[in-house]
Amino acid sequence: MNLAATLQERFFRWALRGKAPEASPVILTQRRVYVLPTRQGLAYAVSLLVMLVGAINFNLSLGYALVFLLAGLGLTAILHAFRNLVQLRIAPGRCEPVFAGESANFGIVLTNRRNETRPAVRLHLPGQESIEVEIPAQSSMEARLALPALQRGWLALPRITIETNYPLGLIRAWSYAAPEQRCLVYPAPAEVAPPVPAMPGEDGGAARVVAGMEDFAGLRRHQPADPPRHVAWKAAARQNAGPLLTKLFTGAAAHTLWFDWNMLPAGQDVETRLAVLTRWICDARGAGLAWGLSLPGSELAPAGDDEHFHACLKLLALYGQE
Amino acid sequence: MAKSKITVPPLVAKQSLWLFGSALLVLAPLVPHLPQWLSALTAVTLLWRGILLWRQAPLPARWLLAFTGIAGAAGIALHFHNLFGRDPGVALLVLLFSLKLLEMRTPRDAFAVVLLGYFLSLTQFFYAQNILNAALTMAGVTSTTAALVVLNHWRQAPLRAVRLAGLMLLQAIPFMLLLFVLFPRVQGPLWGLPIDAYSGLTGLSDSMTPGSLSQLSQSEAIAFRVKFVGKFENKAPPQATLYWRGPVLSQFDGRSWRIGRVFASGRLPYQASGEAVDYVVTLEPHFKPWLFALEFPVSIPAEGLMANDYEILAKTPVRARLRYEMRSYPAIVPGVEESPAVLREALQLPPRSNPRARALAARWREELGADDSAIARSMLDLYRRQLFVYTLSPPLLGEHSVDEFLFDTRRGFCEHFSAGFVFMMRAAGIPARVVTGYQGGEVNPVDGMLVVRQSDAHAWAEVWLRGRGWIRVDPTAAIAPSRIELNLARALPAGEVRPLIALPAFVWLAQMRYRWDALANVWNQWVIGYNPQRQRDLLASLGMRSPDWRQMTVVLTLVCGVLLLGFTAWALYQRQRPVPALAAWNRLSRILARHGLARKPWEGPFDYARRIAATLPGDKAALAGEVARIAEIYARLRYGETDAVLAGQLLQEMKVRVSRIGRLDAPVPAVGSRV
């Protein structure tokens, strides 16, 4: 690490008043909100200086007054920008797991306890585009910050920069926060993978009922991963605003699949294996089949529901990491 | 520092509209001071911009704007023969500003327009700094600031943008006052001013030609104000004694009278005698070196010197409003022992001019012998008996102006009468000279100040009589005594066009003008006339022992710091107590948190109720129903209910229900073990 990077790291640690991550909710106290003029603010100051020289040279008393009024305006802009941020509360919000290669969407819950809205507050993660939000008076709102998820495993929320130029754009008030939050990143499904191994279920295990495709067995709330043709469109049409429902089917004839680490060719490396397994699980899920997963050291019994799907992917995501 | 990627959004129509409106407000006060063709060009540009805005059409091509800009700048250069003076500078700024409005694509352009707008607000003070100007500027600045707010947050509603701008400007006012009072003042100019800096000012000049004073007397502009103190505090001395001495004109070239050679010294050339008059003069800047004083002053202000013809000369031209204390003795007759050089100058006449007048003077000298004062008297008699007319619009005079006036036209204003008198005296061998200045003034009943206007400009004569000194003779008093005893308006014959305000029918107008003048005087004394001297006086009277720039800076920094701290405290102050509905809602979450059912920060009321209903076992369905009901009330209270009475009842119900859950003894089975 070179000197600049070290200094920067120390600055951020100092700015965060300790080591990241911080305990929630993070409150932006006055000691951690910084204000500095923006480039526009500097241009404004230079203009005022020119105007002051003009007022002195021509002995324009009202010229002095105007320059001083505008200088006062600049000072109040500092206060207003500062006030727009100070005492904002930041807490981690939702964060659904994503596959590697996608963007993790960190939910950040911003709470404004003041009786006035806080307009034009921008948030961004290092190197990412910023989003602008308006936090209504006496309420909370959730901002979603996207961050590319490159590797499987836990992706910690990096330091967030919260800033505002409101109301005049002359002054930038900003602060850093690092609430504790992490996003689970599943391995990216392999693009090229051997077909799903169609292994017969255990002998005599036909009594097991797993989610299949043949007989209608009831309804449950729709999950994003459910195949569209299973959505109960008729039911959705009958009710106006209710949640979408998914039709569940049972089929005794459905195969129970086993995805076993050891089924993969011996020479393959860990990440490739995980990618293939992920792909298989996704395929099986999409087809509405039940499957079991066996990894070195852990095993999940066959099932076909959502919970199982995510449990399997979590196991794959964290394989070898914990 | 990790910066976010910068994306520049284009300007939205609303932002352009705001800037357009502000431009109108900022430009309007400048229109009377711009060349007419430039005002027209600006109007066309703004109209063009307005149409584009209205039809949401794209902005014109850059080459077209560049062409207009170059053509406009060339026009300005041609009009003013110069590009670097004050007026061409303002004209260029206006041109740039109106064209920039048509070239406003990005927020950066828009910000440039805002800065130019602030600049232009300043330039109107070149032309006037009265209360009206200040109000107009405030309107322009407020609108420009609101435009800046909208520029940074385009969704801001118009009214709220104006309110915010107004609030910020109000908060800026304490800083402005502090800076205004305490910022160490420097007496300008810092460098040479452009030559046109003082154009368009009226006042007495160093020469007098027939017609120059009558033109000046049409102007209602204020020359100076006088506050009498001491004995004359509440009643000014009689009008007829109020001769405010200005430039003394002793050289005559046949047509115009000019000031002679004067020597200034710090000593008084005469002795005080008679009754003293004490007063304070507030002189409007006239960019000439004369400080006006009642005849004859015995104190010389620090800024001035006494000349050997008894006028007070300022050391530098009066560029800013100047305030000086004076003491005069009207009874003084100076110059008993006058130097031969001065007397020679007071006898000088151009050869071969005005033969008829010379002949008459020679005849008087023959008839009256050595009696100089008798000759002066016969001249006044001539004026009185020959039916001379006192008028603001005398006929034009030819080569022998004195002859034509005395023997042909016989119509004139004070400059004709005084010039004719002095010429005759000199022709008869009596030293005489023309004195210009102001005569009289008008007491403002509102604040008791005597206001002397340009219309009070006057010219009279002085003759030197052996053994007596310089005697003031006012020939105008012989023709129109009321001019001296009352004022110009009464002295003019009926039917003469006179300044509007002098018409008797406008008494109420005069009353209003008195009030306005009194206010304007306070404004001039304390706002416009706040100069380094005033600043030192004020700070000294406030108890600062040696108010130099270091002390001022220290005090300024301290007070501004305290003010900023106060505002910061205001910024930090907030009602930490949430609204009652939110408080009850949070309490519900805390109660259920004991059972592992805390509300997630992102969960809305209905989501939360649904999750609780889904998580609680069947035998707790009643509790789930209760939570659902509370969630519904909460949602109504926060987002729906507008009826205050009903809202109160609902809030009460919500509180009761939450408390009931809080009292429940049976703990809800811990959730989470179900996995």
pLDDT at residue B131, as a whole number: 87
Mean pLDDT of all residues belonging to chain B: 82
Cβ-defined contact of A120 to B151 (cutoff 8 Å): no
For residue B105, give the nearest of B22, B24, B21, B8 by alpha carbon. Answer: B8
Range scoring the smallest mean pLDDT among A149-158, A195-204, B68-77, B630-639: A195-204
Higher pLDDT, B600 or A226: B600
Q: How far is residue B157 from each of residues A133, B53, B106, B151, B162, measured CA to CA in Å?
A: 16, 19, 21, 12, 9
pLDDT digit string (tens) for B634-650? 888 877 767 778 888 88
Chosen from B97, B108, B152, B634 to mutate, greatest number of chain A CBs within 10 A: B152
Nearest to A113 among B121, B185, B574 (CB): B574
Nearest Cα of chain A lies from the Cα of B285 at a distance, in angstroms, of: 11
Range scoring the smallest mean pLDDT among B116-130, B193-207, B429-443: B193-207
Which pLDDT band, with edges at 50, 70 and 90, does B665 fall under?
very low
Cβ-defined contact of A75 to B172 (cutoff 8 Å): yes
DSSP summary character for residue A58: T
On chain A, the residues whose CB falls within 8 A of the CB of B571 are 79-80, 82-83, 86
Cβ-defined contact of B172 to A107 (cutoff 8 Å): no
pLDDT at residue B526, as a whole number: 80
Cβ-defined contact of B527 to A140 (cutoff 8 Å): no
Mean pLDDT of all residues belonging to chain A: 82
DSSP helix/strand/coil, B565: helix
Chosen from A16, A50, A75, A134 to mutate, greatest number of chain B CBs within 10 A: A75
Q: Characterize A177-199 residue by residue with b for buried, 16 or more Cβ atoms within 10 angstroms of its Cβ, and e for exposed.
A: bbbebebbbbbbbbeebeebeee
On chain A, the residues whose CB falls within 8 A of the CB of B115 are 43-44, 47
pLDDT digit string (tens) for A88-137? 989 888 889 999 998 999 999 998 888 888 999 999 998 888 899 999 88
Q: Provide the CA B200 distance to its chain's centre, in angstroms.
A: 15
Nearest Cα of chain A lies from the Cα of B156 at a distance, in angstroms, of: 9
pLDDT at residue A116, as a whole number: 85
Q: Which of residues 31-90 of A touch B (CB under 8 A)?
A: 40, 43-44, 47, 51, 53-73, 75-77, 79-80, 82-83, 86-87
Has residue B118 got a pLDDT over 60?
yes
On chain B, the residues whose CB falls within 8 A of the CB of A91 are 601
In percent, the amount of chain A with pLDDT more than 70 equals 87
On chain B, the residues whose CB falls within 8 A of the CB of A146 are none
Nearest to A167 among B152, B574, B582 (CB): B152
pLDDT at residue A48, as a whole number: 96
Decide: B559 and B567 in contact? Cβ < 8 Å.
no
pLDDT at residue B112, as a whole number: 93
Residue A220 to residue B298: CA distance in whole angstroms: 108
E-state strands within B130-270 = 207-208, 222-229, 243-252, 257-259, 264-265
Decide: B406 and B413 in contact? Cβ < 8 Å.
no
Chosen from A9, A31, A34, A64 to mutate, greatest number of chain B CBs within 10 A: A64
Which pLDDT band, with edges at 50, 70 and 90, does B175 fall under?
very high
Q: In residues, how long is chain B?
A: 675
Has residue B6 got a pLDDT over 50?
no
Has residue A176 got a pLDDT over 60?
yes
Cβ-defined contact of A63 to B125 (cutoff 8 Å): yes
Has residue B488 got a pLDDT over 70?
no
Q: What is the mean pLDDT of residues B512-517?
A: 78
On chain B, the residues whose CB falls within 8 A of the CB of A142 are 601-602
pLDDT at residue B499, as a whole number: 56
pLDDT at residue B173, as a whole number: 94
Tokens of B218: 């049409």
pLDDT at residue B454, as a whole number: 84
pLDDT digit string (tens) for B357-416? 999 999 998 888 888 888 888 888 888 888 788 877 777 777 788 888 888 888 888 888
Residue in chain A nearest B133 by alpha carbon: A62
Nearest Cα of chain B lies from the Cα of A126 at a distance, in angstroms, of: 5
Which pLDDT band, with edges at 50, 70 and 90, does B593 fall under?
confident
Has residue B472 got a pLDDT over 80?
yes
Residue B458 to residue B416: CA distance in whole angstroms: 11
Q: What is the mean pLDDT of residues A32-58?
A: 92
Q: Which of residues 229-248 of A touch B (CB under 8 A)?
A: none
On chain B, the residues whose CB falls within 8 A of the CB of A120 are 152-153
Decide: A214 and A250 in contact? Cβ < 8 Å.
yes
Decide: B289 and B303 in contact? Cβ < 8 Å.
no
Residue A22 to residue A27: CA distance in whole angstroms: 10
Residue B277 to residue B332: CA distance in whole angstroms: 12
Strand partners, B222: B453
Cβ-defined contact of B168 to A77 (cutoff 8 Å): yes
pLDDT at residue B198, as a whole number: 52
Nearest Cα of chain A lies from the Cα of B201 at a distance, in angstroms, of: 15
How many Cβ pairs within 8 Å bridge chains A and B?
194
Nearest Cα of chain A lies from the Cα of B273 at a distance, in angstroms, of: 40
DSSP helix/strand/coil, B282: strand
Has residue B609 got a pLDDT over 90?
no
pLDDT digit string (tens) for A56-73? 888 888 999 999 999 999
In percent, the amount of chain B with pLDDT more than 90 equals 16
Nearest to A68 among B86, B176, B531 (CB): B176
- Which phi and psi angles does B264 have, rounded to 5°? -100, 145
pLDDT at residue B121, as a whole number: 92
pLDDT at residue B501, as a whole number: 54
Has residue A19 got a pLDDT over 70?
no
For residue B112, give the nearest of B160, B147, B71 by alpha carbon. Answer: B147
Place of tokens 């008996």: B385
Which pLDDT band, with edges at 50, 70 and 90, does A194 fall under?
confident
Cβ-defined contact of B153 to A167 (cutoff 8 Å): yes
Whether omega before B580 lies within 30 degrees of 0, making that bond cis, reads no
pLDDT at residue B462, as a whole number: 92
Residue B140 to residue B119: CA distance in whole angstroms: 11
Helical H runs in A109-223?
none
Cβ-defined contact of B171 to A134 (cutoff 8 Å): no
Tokens of A168: 């005049």
Nearest to B173 among A62, A72, A91 (CB): A72
DSSP B19-82: HHHHHHHHHGGGGGGS-HHHHHHHHHHHHHHHHHHHHTPPPPPHHHHHHHHHHHHHHHHHHHT-
Which pLDDT band, with edges at 50, 70 and 90, does B178 fall under?
very high
Tokens of B172: 């800026």
Cβ-defined contact of A62 to B176 (cutoff 8 Å): no
Q: Which residues of B are catalytic?
A: 414, 458, 474
Decide: B59 and B16 in contact? Cβ < 8 Å.
no
ipTM: 0.77
pLDDT at residue B433, as a whole number: 92
Q: What is the mean pLDDT of residues A268-295?
A: 87
On chain A, the residues whose CB falls within 8 A of the CB of B556 are none
Q: Which of residues 156-215 of A touch B (CB under 8 A)?
A: 161, 165-169
Please state, as a whole number, how many other Cβ atoms lie within 10 Å of the Cβ of residue B32: 11
Range scoring the smallest mean pLDDT among A27-41, B245-259, B537-551: B537-551
Q: What is the mean pLDDT of residues B478-485?
A: 71
Higher pLDDT, A252 or A169: A169
Cβ-defined contact of A87 to B572 (cutoff 8 Å): yes
- What string of H, E and C letters represents the secondary structure of B383-440? HHHCCCEECCCCCCCCCCHHHHHHHHHCEECHHHHHHHHHHHHHHCCCCEEEEEEEEC
Has residue B492 got a pLDDT over 70?
no
Angle at A42 between CA A40 and CA A48, to 5 degrees: 105
DSSP helix/strand/coil, B102: coil
Strand partners, B438: B244, B457
Q: What is the mean pLDDT of residues B55-77?
A: 87
Residue in chain A nearest B154 by alpha carbon: A120
Residue in chain A nearest B124 by alpha carbon: A63
Q: In residues, how long is chain A?
A: 322
In percent, the amount of chain B with pLDDT more than 70 equals 90
pLDDT at residue B3, as a whole number: 42
- What string of H, E and C letters represents the secondary structure of B236-256? CCCHHHCEEEEEEEEEECCCC
Cβ-defined contact of A142 to B602 (cutoff 8 Å): yes
Q: What is the mean pLDDT of residues A162-169?
A: 91
pLDDT digit string (tens) for B269-324? 788 888 889 999 988 888 888 889 988 888 888 888 888 888 888 888 887 778 89
Q: Provide the CA A72 distance to its chain's centre, in angstroms.
A: 40
Higher pLDDT, B228 or B599: B228
Residue in chain A nearest B148 by alpha carbon: A168
Q: What is the mean pLDDT of residues A292-298?
A: 87
Cβ-defined contact of A59 to B319 (cutoff 8 Å): yes
- Which phi and psi angles does A311 have, rounded to 5°? -60, -45
Nearest Cα of chain B lies from the Cα of A143 at a distance, in angstroms, of: 10
pLDDT at residue A81, as a whole number: 93
Q: What is the mean pLDDT of residues A129-155?
A: 89
Strand partners, B293: B245
For residue A174, give the nearest of A294, A49, A82 by alpha carbon. Answer: A82
Nearest Cα of chain A lies from the Cα of B110 at a distance, in angstroms, of: 11
Q: Characterize B302-312 residue by residue with b for buried, 16 or more Cβ atoms within 10 angstroms of its Cβ, and e for exposed.
A: ebbbbbbbbbb
